[in-house]
Structures are given as C-alpha cells and as structure tokens.
Amino acid sequence: MSRVQLIAPASTDGERKQLLDQIHGALGATPAMFRAVANSPAALKSLWGSFGALGAGVLPAKLGEQIAVAVADRNACEYCLAAHTALGRKAGASADEMVAAQDGESADPKTAVALRFALKLVNDRGQVGDADVQALRGAGFDDEQIVEIIAHVALNLFTNYLNVALAVPVDFPAVKLSRRAA
C-alpha cells in the first residue's frame, strides 16, 4: 500500500489535473507513480517535464530505457524496473536485451560502455574519473550524449527513490530483480 495518497485525476483540479490529463493522454493511462508525485504539483511538473525533455533528446529511447532498468535494478526499484522494461520493449529492445541491461550489460559495445558508466555513477555517487568519461568518448559518445546519460541516471534516481520510499504499487507487468541494491 502506498505511503502517500495516489491522486485520482477525476478528483483534482488546476495545474495538477492538467498535468495528469497530459500524462494520461500521452500514455493511455495514469500510472501510480505519477499519481503519487501529483501530491506536489511542482514535483509532477518537474518529473513530466524531464521525461519530455529527455524523450526529445539525442539519445535513442532504447538506450534511455536500458539505462533506466540498470539503475532500477541497482536500486531495487521494482516499479521502475517493470515500467522501463515495458517501455524498453516498446522502444525496440528485445526481452534478452532488457534482462542484460538490468546487470549493466549489452552485446552492443557502445551500449555496454554507457550502461557501465551509468552504474558507476550510481555506485560511486557521481565520483567518476577522466578515464570513465574518456571511455564514453572512445565508444563514440559526444559531450551532449554524455550529459544526457547523466541526466537519465539522475531522473531515474529520483523515480527509484520516490517509488521505493513511498511504496508505490507496481501497475506494470512485474519483472524480477536480478540483484539487490548495492
């Protein structure tokens, strides 16, 4: 059971209702995570804006979802793991690719470098070195893409922490965590 009220779009108004209606229109549903975040219209606006901005970024949606499942698995966020596995499949990733991403792995060398970097950010709380950034450049990522990888990690840390801390009920097909939080 959620530790905060899940705001029903039909029972709210103003900016909160407008945002929840936008989310429902874009996704075809109003996932529980957004209903939990709707307790703060400012947080909901920030979250929805971040999803939109990064969705229009230079990184492919598939890579964004692979980063999301790697971070979710590391943080033992069952909600985000389930949601981003489903979104990754819609973005063209195979089931095997999404399972591998949970462990920060990929058969594609460029994706593997990005996932390793994302998990290093999480594990070392952002304390990466020149060699870590150079590995991204060596794999073909430019500065814009590197910044977006970090932005994806940061967004997913927020959603992971929110869903775990507030016990938001999973409303996507469940996915088994491959490991517990580091």
- Integer-rounded Cα Rg, in Å, for the chain is 16
pLDDT digits (tens, 9 = 90+) for 66-105: 999 999 999 999 999 999 999 999 999 999 999 999 999 9
Please tell me whether residues 112 and 33 are part of one structural domain. Answer: no
Tokens of 160: 């992971």
What's the rounded mean pLDDT across residues 156-162?
Answer: 98
Distance between CA 137 and CA 114 in Å, rounded?
10
Please tell me whether residues 147 and 67 are part of one structural domain. Answer: yes
pLDDT digits (tens, 9 = 90+) for 28-53: 999 999 999 999 999 999 999 999 99
Please tell me whether residues 66 and 132 are part of one structural domain. Answer: yes
Q: What single letter denotes the amino acid at residue 160?
A: N
Average pLDDT, the chain: 96
pLDDT exceeds cutoff 70 at 181: no
Number of H helices, E strands in the chain: 9, 0
Distance between CA 140 and CA 135 in Å, rounded?
9
With a pLDDT cut of 90, the percent of the chain lying above it is: 97
pLDDT exceeds cutoff 90 at 182: no
Cβ partners under 8 Å of residue 126, min gap 6: none
Please tell me whether residues 28 and 67 are part of one structural domain. Answer: no
Please tell me whether residues 51 and 65 are part of one structural domain. Answer: no
Residue 182, domain member (yes or no) = no
* Angle in degrees, CA 110, 113, 115, rounded to 5: 110
Closest CA to 74 of 147, 124, 129: 124
Please tell me whether residues 115 and 148 are part of one structural domain. Answer: yes
SS3 76: coil
Residue 171, domain member (yes or no) = no
* pLDDT score of 179: 76
Q: Which domain holds residue 41?
A: 10-55
* pLDDT score of 180: 54
